[in-house]
Each structure stands twice: as C-alpha cells, then as structure tokens.
Chains A and B, each alone.
Chain A
C-alpha cells in the first residue's frame, strides 16, 4: 500500500494522466521516464496520455492481493490508448461476458483502494466501456 507521500507524488499521473515524451523520436511513455528507452535521449517534453483506447488483452482476477479482496472477482486488462501508449488497469462497469478484445474503453476516475478503515483513500483511473 502506498504511503500518503508516495500517493501524493503520483497525483499528476493518476489524476491528470500527465507524463512525458521523447523530444527526439516522439515516443510517449507512461508513467514518465528520465531517459527514452528507444533512443536513449534525455531531452524530454511534457505530455498527456489519451483517455480512450482499445482492449488488447485481459484476465479475471479471482485470488486478489488482500486490499482488493472485497472487489474480487474483477477484470484487469491492457489497453492500447489512441496515442499508442499501452496501459494496464482494472476494467469495471462491464460484465465479464461482455469483455471483448478490441472493445473501446475510456478512463474513469475511481477509488482504487483504501488503507483500512482509517487510512487515506487512494483515487486513480480504471477502464470502463466507452459507448459514446
């Protein structure tokens, strides 16, 4: 579980999808990096990831880590966003029978987990079907 300080540090990514991209070859990464893994360039510029994409693959988690026990079973998938960035996340608001490779997804703001009954509430993104 994240401490409040780690959760706070990741707010720009988890809340606003802020990241960076290579100024030389244009590759966008998520989360942000210090060096481009493609061309090893260290010159990077600010970027945001797209909030929509399509499902590449998924699995159903039935034996989850302890802080996700109340949510099981749940789907976790990898989506290719419209800018090419690949992102892993929980898929919610979708019955398992309706999960299809290639389906359109969008990111929605949800509570990812909470630290017990008295710790901080951790918010971030999950995938939901994009019907619009």
Chain B
C-alpha cells in the first residue's frame, strides 16, 4: 500500500493587508474583504522564491519521514513561478537534500494544480515500484498585476510530500483526475503578469472541474461526503472552496482545518497541498481526507487519504502549518511590497 511517509510546509513571514493594497488603487477594502473572504496574504522576501521555499518545506517533510534522502528516486516541484525560464528548480532541491544523482526530476506547470500534479506522478511511481520514495512539492510566489483583483490574493508558500510504501502517515485510498481545455487564466511567454477571463473563472472553470473531480473520485471509491472527516478544495479566495463544499454536500467543520486562505491568500500550486498539511496536523488515526486541487486551463486532481497511527509520532517533528501562518509576522506597506515583488522599475 502506497501513501504519504512525510509532509512539511513553509510560509514566508511577510504579510500585506487587503486595506493596504486597496488604499493605493482607490478600491473599497471592505467590499474586497467580503467578496474574497480575505484579510491578508503572505509575501516572499526578496531572497525567497519557489526553490528556497521548496527546500524548507521538503526539509520539514524529511524530518517527519525520517528516511535516507539518497533513497528518494523522484523529485518534482509544481509551480507557475519557477525562478528560471530555462533550468530546472528540482535539481537544486534534489542537490540540497542529497537525493542526487540517482533520481528522476521534473518541474511541473499547470497554473494552481502543478503541485498536486507532481504528487499524482510521484505517488504513481511509488505504486508501480519504480522508485522507493517520491518527493513532490507545490510552491509558488505568484504575482497579480498591480490593481487587478488577483493582486489581493496572489501569495507565497510551499507544501512537500514524500510518498512511499512503508511507515505511512496516510494511506492513499484513491486518486482521480478531471480536465478539459478551458482558457480561464493564462500568461503568455515573456509577459510578466497573467490575465484571466473575469467571471468566466467561476462556473465553467473552478466549479465545473472541482465538482467533476470530487464526484468522480467519490463514485470511483463508493464514498459520500459524510464518509470524510475532512476535505480540502483549492482556495483561490475564501468563498470558492466554501461554496463548492456546500454544493457537494460537505459541512463547514470538514473544510475549516484546511481552509487557510483568509490569512494566507492563494498560494497557487501550494494552496490545496498546504490545506492538506494543516489538516494532517490536527487529524487522528483512521480519519478520511479528501483533497481536490484546481488549476486553470483547466483541471482538478483528487486524492483520498486515510490517516494512520503514525500521525501521532510525526506530527510534532516539524513546525505545524498554522504555527507557520501565525509566527513572526511582518506587515508590509505597499511601497515595500512593490520593492519586494520587483514592481518598481529601476535604472539599469
């Protein structure tokens, strides 16, 4: 039986509040906060990117997995903000951990679902006995165009999972993928900021694919919403995951432990994976967890995990996700934020 051997998270300390962004663009902060169900979002420091956050999240996953990193046979980072246009992120991560040279590495991209994509492939390679352990990370330092609605939510964070067949923290019960070609959000080559289809990002994009994947995996496994202790949906804003949960028949208590978006923002490829880490942090042996990601373009990956007894041994071996969300926060003014995110044009 394959599943999760170790998991870890990383969240940068900087935050910016919705009010601080709204003030600059003359927008109405209360209506943004209400509309997005969002208070603030995380911001990476200038010396942090998808690679550095992936390293820290993976080191936390290793602390819980307690395995020899040289036995990791696959290293995948899913992100839409890989620091290099050409040169893999995963090679740096594998080198830091000591997983080189006998490892398969690839960088995944699929808007916000790149993280679960890597998880899907790493888990499958473990299942097929191609590798002993597979590491998959969802990480992003995403950018919204200044003044665009996405600027209020585009955040930074990373979650890492090590998959294997022994000493499982959570067994993989079922996997399922659902996708179509849907142009709801995109960024062309050499463009700095992404564009989106406005209202088109809702019903035919997020809701159609999340519902399709959730219903698909429940049908495949013969389970219904009441069979799960917890559920995590992709969190582009606060409202979407709550609304889709209600449409599918889940209760708020099932969603809450993994619902981080109101204080974290949308960490894109890290979003639903971070929700899974914070849910594992509070779960008990025997708990059933459903996770459904969403990536524009568009598709959803779904996983069902069953938590094992080992959760009680590993939970405290690395910082918990909600601890990282609350510790040592540093609130930025918009000017610092713009400098941190290279939104200011300087002389050469």
Contact = CB atoms under 8 A, between A and B. Distances in A.
Nearest to A71: B46
A11 B328 contact: no
Given A15-B95, A93-B328, A109-B96, A70 B83 contact: no
Interface stretch (B20-28, B48-56, B196-204, B259-267): B48-56
A64 B96 CA distance: 28
B56 A121 contact: no
Interface residues of B, number: 22
Interface in A27-86: 70-71
Interface of B: 13, 45-49, 51-52, 55-56, 59, 83-84, 92, 95-96, 98, 319, 327-328, 330, 339
B28 to A, nearest CB: 32
A11 B95 contact: yes
Given A121-B84, A131-B327, A16 B46 contact: no
A9 interface: no
Contacts of B49: 111, 121
A132 B55 contact: no
B45 A92 contact: yes
The 9 closest A-B pairs by CB, nearest first: A109-B55, A110-B47, A15-B96, A111-B47, A109-B52, A110-B52, A15-B95, A93-B13, A121-B83
Contacts of A126: 47
Given A71-B47, A92-B45, A16 B92 contact: no
Contacts of B52: 108-111, 123
A112 interface: yes
10 contacts: A16-B96, A71-B47, A93-B13, A93-B328, A110-B47, A111-B47, A111-B51, A121-B49, A121-B84, A132-B319
